[in-house]
Structure 1
Amino acid sequence: MTEITNPHDRFFREALADPKVASDFLRYYLPGEITELLDLSEAPEPMKDSYVDPELRTYFSDLLYKVRLRGERDAYVYLLMEHKSYPDRKVCYQLLRYMTRIWDNDLRDLDNLQPIFPVVVYHGAATWRLSDRLQDLFDELPDALRPYTPDFRYWLCDLSSYSDDELKGEITLRVAVMALKYIFRPELPARLHDIFRLLHEVISQPTGLRALEVLLRYFSVATDQVTGSDLRRAVEETFHEEGEQTMKTIAEQWIEEGMKRGLHQGFVEGQEMGLREGLQRGLQQGLQQGLQQGLQQGLLDGIRLALELKFGFDGLALLPEIARLEDIALLRAVHEAIRFAETPEDLRKVYQKM
């Protein structure tokens, strides 16, 4: 799978990673005549490859599922999600390119082609008024040439066209669709409580807590319409007594993720430095320095997220001071202290004393 290059891409992939959620998306957001063809008693099989051109990955994400048709045959559902705030009239041609790449694999592996149902998932602010047919990209196409010119149509899933009451499926799917629907819209701050409220009945389950974590990460990096303080307040108000503990748990998970990311980065940097040295001594030194830098950066990433979620902008104001701390043990103590500090000043006292 290609590297995730933008927050919409990561959120889209994580939201549809659960087979039940993916099945519900196909069941409720494709046209009825297509879902009648699908045997959704079997979960769709996600294919690992991405077919989007590297230079377009900032604007598009894609997911390919192999599905079972009623009649014991296989087919594909290809989802191309456009993350721009305005529609792109070339999307039909881009779909054709990606579909031929999928068929290239079929011809290589199966020696025949399997049908593809192409879906464009759109969540931009502007209304989608473009044609869904490939041949409409031609300014003029004589009738005599039409039979010799490729043509197909795609299914448009415009999330902004659904009312909140029309959103269906697993709770985590409805939450994801609402988040995507409002991420570019000025109503997002007013919809935070409605989005979080959907998760209330599943927040005690691991899938619910994970969905909330993914949602908070998405909102924190994909929009400037809400702040960390807005998110923290909305969670605490929605989940009442468990809200504060929920935020602490998520903050700890982000810190752990940051540390793991830092360890991986440090290992890679250390290897590269060691290879350049060409000597065992260089490798050991490189690994040590890389791991040190990676751990430090990973801890700082986690601390930044935890500070914003717990204290908002007042907490982020401490980050320049904390970033000057080079001792890993001290940074660990700081991120541990975030759990118990009542105010940013309480946290400052911790590392100033140490």
Structure 2
Amino acid sequence: MHIDNVHDKFFKDSFSRKQLVEGLIQELFPKELGQKIDLVSLELSNNSYTDEKLEEHFADIVYQCTYQDSQKIRIALLFEHKSYQEKYPHFQLLRYLLNAWEQDSKEKKEPTLTIPIVIYHGKNRWKYQSLPQYFKGSDAELRRFLPDFEYLLFDISQFSDQQIAGFSNKFLALSWILLKNSRTKSYLLGIARAFTELIQAIESTGDMSYIRSVFLYVLSTTENLAKPKIVDIFRNISIQTNSITMTIAEAMKLEGKIQGKIEGKIEGKIEGKIEGKIEGKEEATVLFVQKLVKIGMDAATIAQTFELPQTKVEEIIAKM
């Protein structure tokens, strides 16, 4: 899977969790704005307003909610793909907003006010400027012919690991610290203590599906030589996390995702064979899917994460 797709998938999996977006609004929105949003009314939308051209720039997650007890608005979370700032981000954002309002029109609705939020995790600082600033030398008479709107910017690189670990919403903290450091090789080894504490906080909520997502993301963004150490970090967090880690690690090793040997005991080590001879890719795929189902992954998640045909995954599950 291409690395941009790995980041996008983790972004979508993370920010599809309402509790994470609640934390984003409470902790990072401008206070005057955040206080007027009814968090209880937050509802994940199935709509996406990216088109073929916009997909080159970002992935989106859209929420609907109530503002000041009556007005319906949208919050569009736009995850910037690139590791550098787009020169004229307002142009892409304007296209996005027009797509949203055109969709409202097609559905015979009044246009819904949409708050665009750019989430950026590149290494270089994102320098915010207004749209009229793109047009140098324009006076007030000319600027009145320009559209002018703002967007909220969350440049993750500008948060220290200590700041992030201090977020009261641990779902937000965990996603933030991983996205911030993911472009650094073997990054998790340097933040292992803070990471472990965040995983334990998530585990206390009972959301083990998110821990599975985090493990897959960390493995996908870590160089091969460090992967055995990453597995050890997860294994030592708790019994539940160890169980998830070893099941996924075995399945991924079978698929050739993890190179070399994983240190420590793995029941029935996979080195081209699992408890005797398994001939052919078909049998290996069946066992691979069965292991993931046993730890609670559904057909759609397995198919998307490991790039398998969903119909094939569903067929294997039906025969279990």
Report the TM-score, using the length of structure 1 for normalisation. Answer: 0.68
Q: What amino acid is the match of 1:304?
A: E
Match of 1:20 in 2: 19
Work out whether residues 189 and 226 of structure 1, in 8 Å CA contact, stay in contact via their aligned partners in 2. no
Match of 2:144 in 1: 147
Work out whether residues 50 and 96 of structure 2, in 8 Å CA contact, stay in contact via their aligned partners in 1. yes
Write the distance in 1 (CA, Å) between the matches of 2:105 and 2:162. Answer: 43
Work out whether residues 21 and 170 of structure 1, in 8 Å CA contact, stay in contact via their aligned partners in 2. yes
- Secondary structure of 1:41's partner? strand
**Matched residue pairs, number?**
281
Return closer, same or farther for 1:220/1:141 CA change in 2, 3 Å cut-off. same
Write the distance in 2 (CA, Å) between the matches of 1:140 and 1:323. Answer: 74
Seq. identity, %? 23
- 1:219-244 superposed Cα distances (whole Å, 9 cap, x missing partner): 222343873212112113333x5554
Provide the aligned C-alpha RMSD in A. 3.5
Q: What amino acid is the match of 2:154?
A: C
* 1:29, distance to aligned residue in structure 2 (A): 2.1
1:318 is aligned to 2:271: yes
Following TM superposition, where does structure 1 have runs of at least 4 consecutive aligned residues deviating by more than 6 angstroms? 320-324, 333-337
Return closer, same or farther for 1:323/1:85 CA change in 2, 3 Å cut-off. farther
Q: Considering fraction of residues, name the structure with more helix.
A: 1
Match of 1:304 in 2: 255
Mapping 1:35-184, distance limit 5 Å: 35-42=34-41, 44-57=42-55, 59-131=57-129, 133-167=130-164, 168-184=167-183
Work out whether residues 52 and 61 of structure 1, in 8 Å CA contact, stay in contact via their aligned partners in 2. yes
Write the distance in 1 (CA, Å) between the matches of 2:280 and 2:257. Answer: 19
Return closer, same or farther for 1:145/1:226 CA change in 2, 3 Å cut-off. farther
Return closer, same or farther for 1:302/1:68 CA change in 2, 3 Å cut-off. farther
* 1:320, distance to aligned residue in structure 2 (A): 10
Work out whether residues 215 and 245 of structure 2, in 8 Å CA contact, stay in contact via their aligned partners in 1. no
- 1:120-159 superposed Cα distances (whole Å, 9 cap, x missing partner): 111111111241x122222342321211211112111111
Mapping 1:285-296, distance limit 5 Å: none
Return closer, same or farther for 1:78/1:110 CA change in 2, 3 Å cut-off. same
- 1:160-190 superposed Cα distances (whole Å, 9 cap, x missing partner): 2223343324322211111111112355430
- Secondary structure of 2:78's partner? strand
Match of 1:298 in 2: none
* 1:28, distance to aligned residue in structure 2 (A): 1.8
- 1:26-58 superposed Cα distances (whole Å, 9 cap, x missing partner): 22221112112211132x122222223335535
- Secondary structure of 2:172's partner? helix
Unaligned residue ranges in structure 1 (runs of 5+): 256-300, 338-354
- Please say which of residues 29-38 and 197-206 is displaced more in the overlay: 197-206
- Please say which of residues 160-169 and 142-151 is displaced more in the overlay: 160-169
Match of 1:197 in 2: 197
Match of 1:259 in 2: none
* 1:332, distance to aligned residue in structure 2 (A): 5.5
Work out whether residues 211 and 241 of structure 2, in 8 Å CA contact, stay in contact via their aligned partners in 1. no
Write the distance in 1 (CA, Å) between the matches of 2:154 and 2:127. Answer: 13
- Secondary structure of 1:9's partner? helix
Write the distance in 1 (CA, Å) between the matches of 2:118 and 2:288. Answer: 45
